Amino acid sequence: MRSGWGRQVGQYVLLLVFTLLINFALPRAMPGSPLAYLAGEDVGLLTPEQRTEILSRHGLHEPLWKQFALFVHNLTRGDLGHSYRQGRPVAEIIAERLPWTLLLATTALIIQTMLGVWLGARAAWSRGTRLDVWLMSTFMLFRSMPSFWIAMILLAVFGAQLGWFPMFGAFRPWAGHTGPAHILDILRHLFLPALSLILLGAAETFMTMRYAMLSVLGENYITVARAKGLAERDVLYRHAGRNALLPVATVFMLSLGFSVSGATVIETVFAYPGLGRLMYEAVLSRDYPVLQASFLTITLAVIVANLLADTLYAFLDPRVRI
Amino acid sequence: MTSLARALSGSRQGWLGLIILVSLLFGALMAPWLSPYAPSERVARPFQPPSRHHLLGTNDIGQDILSEIIWGSRASLGTGVVTALAATTVGTAVGIAAGYYGGWVDGLFMRIVDLFLVIPFLPLMILLAAYAGPSFHHLMLVMVFLMWARPARIIRSQVLTLKSWTYVESARAAGARAGYIMRYHILPGVLSLVVAQLVMTASLAILIEASLSFLGLGDPVQKSWGSILFYAHSRSAFLTGAWVWWILPPGLLITLTVMGFALTGFALDTVLNPRLRATGITYPTRKKEEKPLTPAP
């Protein structure tokens, strides 16, 4: 186990280095002056003072290795650069946006896992029946749909036509809600974006749970449990379900990272003020420093999530700990 | 390859998938004859609801949406298929080399593959595509760069089992060079798996192209289904009834294409992957006695 864990950590360190290298290399490898990419393509509008400030901040007149050292040094101080579009430090913008993405991604992840596990167990139990076939084809269909399109349809139907849910944003800033009303407002804004993520994400868990259950159901201890006269419910959830959960835990771990990046497109549709929407806005306005910082933050979130999951997994499966 | 075709013909899903794909391909090829107007021509007033002249209405600058969608199929299908071809080719080469040589070559390649599998896929693509600038060539390059890893890993594991087969060992004992063995003994053995991977990668590529185009990273000159949705979204088509004819059709077509590829892929996978058959996750096939494909010696 120790070597396995070390391997994982090595993998994440490699990922981090790779991310840093990409962020460092992209503005400098592009044709034209890196100034354009570091400032966000508004070189013409910059005052001479700002221009010298950028040059010295990134050490652009220094040799490459010194530039890289400076780049890493700036990052470790929490300095993610400056968005000349928005006229403020990138770190400040990221800090505003990150909590919303985390809220959306974790909510969706938890619900989609529970839903997928429950339906997957049901489907496996009654395999070959109409329920099973129906569930399978529905989830297959959802998996073939573009996530942003599901989101747009939900928005059009439940937001615009029926008016049940708000159309954009994470809360209503001018309503002046406080306390429980504010929380309710946030939840109402969260509903449709989370639902879009869940419809997609649950498919993966469902398929895995169903597959795992099918292989567990053939085991001898299930036959024994049945022979003992246990109620079907108990056999299903206590005996089969528990053992089928391990592969689901793996999917859960893989989805941790995926949810954060999957939220990118969904946030864009709902104008949800998370990191994904931020990336979209940055693409449209060619705000490269913000793009880079968002990518770095998402990668860091994925690494932290994976490390957490690896540690948790060792508790779940005693065999990993040996 | 003939056995591959036979395998597909035994599966109802496989047939359905193939029919979907062939009809979409037909639509894309016949675009000049099928579409009522030129896709970039302004033929009517903007934001028209569907009428006899414009079956799906017109968009924000008065182009016929139906023609846009028919022509868009070229961009969407083309990007998906070309990307999948390139990514699977790279993946196959890496997979065969890593699996055959083993040792440090394998270690190095698989490390890189693992790296590409954990990386936050879409954000990195957005970053790269934003720097590269909007064009189909850039989009495809970025997608290939990030999509070769999964086929590589799957093909490598198949090569590992093939490598120990007697015909490979005897070829090696007879003094065949590594290049020769990989070309004439390993490659035919993984070819059916490669085709299955190709189909799966294509379905994924079409979804990703749509997402990237939806985020405004597509080619502004040649619209794909994804970029049609980008314009529909940025002009707030979801606020009015326009979503029914502007948002619904391109999305349905993307779903249909992905389903077409996925159904074909599943059918191939079921036949090619004996483990899936053993555990009861079979998709019903007409001919029960169909044997799993074995590599032709």
Q: What is the pLDDT of residue B88?
A: 95
Lowest mean pLDDT among A127-141, B31-45, B99-113, B147-161: B31-45
Name the CATH architecture for the domain at B56-279. Answer: Orthogonal Bundle (1.10)
Residue A319 has pLDDT above 50, yes or no: yes
Nearest-Å Rg of the Cα atoms of chain B is 22
Calpha distance B116→B112 (Å, rounded): 6
pLDDT in tens, A201-251: 888 888 888 888 888 877 788 888 888 888 877 887 777 877 777 778 777
Roughly what angle, to the nearest 10 degrees, separates helices A242-270 and A179-217?
140
Q: How confident is the model at residue B2 (pLDDT cuts 50, 70, 90)?
A: low
Average pLDDT, chain B: 80
Calpha distance A80→A82 (Å, rounded): 7
Residue B278 has pLDDT above 90, yes or no: no
Measured in angstroms, the CA of B44 and the nearest CA of chain A are apart by: 25
pLDDT in tens, B90-111: 999 999 999 888 888 888 888 8
DSSP symbols for chain B: -HHHHHHHHTBHHHHHHHHHHHHHHHHHHTHHHH-SS-TTS--S-TTPPP-SS-TT-B-TTS-BHHHHHHHHHHHHHHHHHHHHHHHHHHHHHHHHHHHHH-HHHHHHHHHHHHHHHHS-HHHHHHHHHHHH-S-HHHHHHHHHHHHSHHHHHHHHHHHHHHHTSHHHHHHHHTT--HHHHIIIIIHHHHHHHHHHHHHHHHHHHHHHHHHHIIIIIS-SSS--HHHHHHHHHHTTGGGSTTHHHHTHHHHHHHHHHHHHHHHHHHHHHHHH-HHHHHTT-PPPBS-TTPPPP----
Segment holding A38, helix H or strand E: helix A34-39
Rounded to an integer, the average pLDDT of B262-286 is 59
Identify whether the C-beta of residue A294 lies closer than 8 Å to the C-beta of residue A279.
Answer: yes
Q: What is the pLDDT of residue B294?
A: 40
Query: Phi and psi at residue A30, in whole multiples of 5°?
Result: -70, 150
Q: Which amino acid is at A56?
A: S
Residue B282 has pLDDT above 60, yes or no: no
Rounded to an integer, the average pLDDT of A1-13 is 69
Measured in angstroms, the CA of A184 and the nearest CA of chain B are apart by: 24
Residue A192 has pLDDT above 50, yes or no: yes
Q: Between the ranges A33-37, A258-262, B10-14, B28-32, where is the mean pLDDT highest? A: B28-32
Q: What is the pLDDT of residue B254?
A: 92
Is the pTM here over 0.95, yes or no? Answer: no
Q: What is the pLDDT of residue A32?
A: 65
Q: How many CA atoms lie within 13 A of B178 on its CB side?
A: 7
Rounded to an integer, the average pLDDT of B266-285 is 55
Rounded to an integer, the average pLDDT of B118-131 is 84
Of B256 and B8, more confident:
B256
Would you list the domain boundaries of chain B?
56-279
* Cβ pair A144:B239 closer than 8 A: no
The proportion of chain A whose per-residue pLDDT surpasses 70, expressed as a percent, equals: 90
Measured in angstroms, the CA of A234 and the nearest CA of chain B are apart by: 23
The predicted complex's ipTM stands at 0.81
Q: Which two tokens stand for residue A201?
A: 């994400």
When CB atoms are compared, the residue of B123, B216, B255 closest to A261 is: B123
Q: What is the pLDDT of residue B1?
A: 53
Nearest CA in chain A to B111: A11
| Partner A contacted by B141 (CB < 8 A) | no
pLDDT in tens, B196-255: 889 889 988 999 889 888 888 887 778 888 888 888 888 877 777 777 778 888 889 999
Rounded to an integer, the average pLDDT of B152-173 is 85
Lowest mean pLDDT among A103-117, A168-182, A261-275: A168-182
Lowest mean pLDDT among A12-21, A68-77, A147-156: A68-77
Q: What is the pLDDT of residue B89?
A: 95
Task: Give Cα A13 to chain centroid, integer Å.
Answer: 19
Q: What is the pLDDT of residue B37?
A: 76
| Partner A contacted by B230 (CB < 8 A) | no
Q: What is the pLDDT of residue A124?
A: 85
Rounded to an integer, the average pLDDT of A61-71 is 78
Which one, of A264, A256, A268, lies nearest residue A295 by Cα? A264
Q: What is the pLDDT of residue A111?
A: 92
Nearest CA in chain A to B279: A215
